[in-house]
Structure 1
Amino acid sequence: MPPKLERFVSPGKGNGLRAAVRVKRGELVYCAPPLACCVSNKVSRDVCHHCFSRRETLLRCSQCKMARYCNITCQKQAWSGHKRECKCLQSLLPRIPTDSVRLAARLLFALVCFSLLMKDPKMLYTLEEHESHLSSMSEHKKQGMAQLASMLELYLQQEVPYPAQEVMSALPPSLREPFSLIAKMTCNCFTISDGELQEIGVGLYPSLSLLNHDCRPNCVMVFVGTKLQLRAVRDINPEEELTISYIETLSLTEDRQRQLEDQYHFTCRCQHCDSQDKDRLMLSGHESTWRLLKEALPRLEGLKTESDWQALLEGCSHLLSTVVGDVPDENLYKLRITDMAVDASIHLGHWEEAVGYGEKTLPVYRQYYPDPHPVHGVQLMRVGKLQHYLEHIEDALDTFKQAYQIIKLTHGDDHPMTSDLRIKMEECRSEMVQQSSSSH
């Protein structure tokens, strides 16, 4: 099959990817397994380290005590990638290295075992071409990188002396040096998320690191296990640049720009930033009142991090009831607090409250995500499940239908999320038939 994308030099941005043919909305543009990946430390007890599925119970590697697997099959399939890492993890017990150190080590082991990866003709962008952005990094950030690099060297001590030393010397110079390797990785790795868009890992997909950012992109990325899929969310003409968003776009222009500068070292000049078209809506309402919401956010986020759901729900509902008429639902800070109230209500099993807060967010999400977007689809799905649980069957069917229209485009027809939605809609339809026949 001819490729749908190609490398090119994007004016003002350097390397980029563009469509080689006409691409339709919802079409799969590219699909890639990672060159290296690892489960995030914060979910390492809940996610299989081979297939990245969430499970209630996982088998633990008896040697390093960290890696966990669905079953013996996953454990056996993971062993070729895990055996070197296993020794390194044992040597540092009880300390666990950071995600970026573990990812860098896994990358080196992959290169050591399959140095042919460096010369894969299908790869649009090789690792040594990746930017490290060291020249534009602050001193503070460089110090952080240096600490990670020395942690990487310490971590690799177990394994690098014997098989890898000569292979390391055969690697391109930019990959031999731990400091520049870590810097390249932090700018070019992708967060791997599950169907609900929760972070489960990090991975390197070298060719897709060529994609440039836009705050209203024409493509989105979703994962099936560790495989990354790039899908178009608008029709794209031949030679048009393919873009994704590097960050969560539902924030003010200045906040998006600050985050992109800080994390990716560039100033965004996309049309969405230049026009600042949604900022006024995000700050709608009486400023003196929404400032209270903005100032309360860090405290509420702290409660969420600590999983103090009771205090979080009380804090959110108190604030939301005090600002009722003064701040519309479209206000960004009100939306964030309403979203936290949904989370807290779900964790506490307060379903009626959860659905009430959730339904308030849906018209707002529709305004902020004019193109099909996974975040919008997942929000609809959450609310639909709550409505279904509370037996608001007609509402649930309507919400599931809206979610399906988005998810089939962003995730594709054969994604588990899309199948799940089809099942949910079918359940609602058959329940409605039962209800109408029992009422006659």
Structure 2
Amino acid sequence: MIHTVKHPVPDTPLSTPLLYSTPSSSSSGRSSDTDESPATSFRYDFQDLKFKILNVPASSFHSYKLLANLSGHIGSVSCLALCGEFILSASQGKDIIVWQQPDLRQFTKFGQGEGSVKALVTAGNKVFTAHQDSRIRVWKISRNSENLFRLVDTLPTTKDYLGKFMKQSNYVQTRRHHKRLWIEHSDSISCLAVSNGLIYSGSWDKTLKVWRMSDFKCLESIKAHDDAINGLVASNGIVYSASADGKIKAWGKEVRNTHSLKGILEGHRDISLNSIVVSEDGSLVYGGGSDGYIMGWLGNRNFDSWRVICEMKAHKMAVLCMCLMGEFLCSGSADKSISIWKREINGSLFRTMIIKGHEGPVKCLQASPTRVGGGFMLYSGSLDKSLRVWWVPNYCSTAQITSSIDGTPRISTVSV
């Protein structure tokens, strides 16, 4: 079901959340302490991995390769991000492990706060982490410091607190007999997105908050959903939030960084939507549900002609995470598997392979934008406390898995 809220969409587009820092040129003369992306010392060549990637016939539909099984977390791996030559992974413990490529060794650790790290996103030379203690922490990447990842602020900031705590109108009811400043989340922050100078945070408290990156001031708090927010993504001037209330809501930025509801995409009744991805042009939205289904919608940025184009049983158990890599969609599930899907022109999906190996539910996925040896790198974090690194071929074989939910996979021939 699709609901449309008719408001004009702002003409100024927002950029896609930056989950991978592109190294700047060594001739740029920029200081490593600027807000630009990490400089050339963060650069490395994926072709160094060639020796690990075998030439696999295109007729083999399950020709992925496990390159590494990285251990070191004391708890479940909850989120991942790519930052130049580094992979960042976080878990139930406060420590965030930094892995260096291409040798995939543990480089360092950093972290602070109470409870699990729930979300992790990078932008330029900054890393933003969201925590179970309802705070966002900002880390600066600086090669001029002994601590490569240095804590520079915590949101809400002290300045933001001092400017609001005296005025009673700045307090909101969070639960019976409890009030908080509207700039504070009252429950775990579950997801983050960064776009066009703004930070978006979604929480189990059902709110979506907007922060200005230049001074980390909270600009807006939106009562976005009727249940916990599980996923956020920003694309082409629209911010999408996926919730346990079974809805995906689209928010457009108006003047002075305020946001208004543009449309609602509704999933299955009484089913939580756990993850969301959006195509580069913003015309396709996919949501992963607790019933194991992936649903897809095709439409336009005005939200006046959206329609369901994909509704399929993707996993035996809940879909917990998804990521896009070009024409491929990757989904991770509580059934411990990862599925790789090929997107067709009309937005429908067909499965090209199933990746198995994790001993627990797959909680997070991240694909590298760099092509490697006729494929791409896929990183997966699991409740089995491991981070695994896979090479996935980017060709589509003539052998396609048409069903693997209820038994032995059936193989059929498809036109590619």
TM-score clears 0.5: no
As a proportion of its length, which structure holds more helix?
1
TM-score calculated relative to the size of structure 1: 0.25
Bigger radius of gyration among the two: 1
Q: Which has the higher strand share?
A: 2
**TM-score, L = length of structure 2:** 0.26
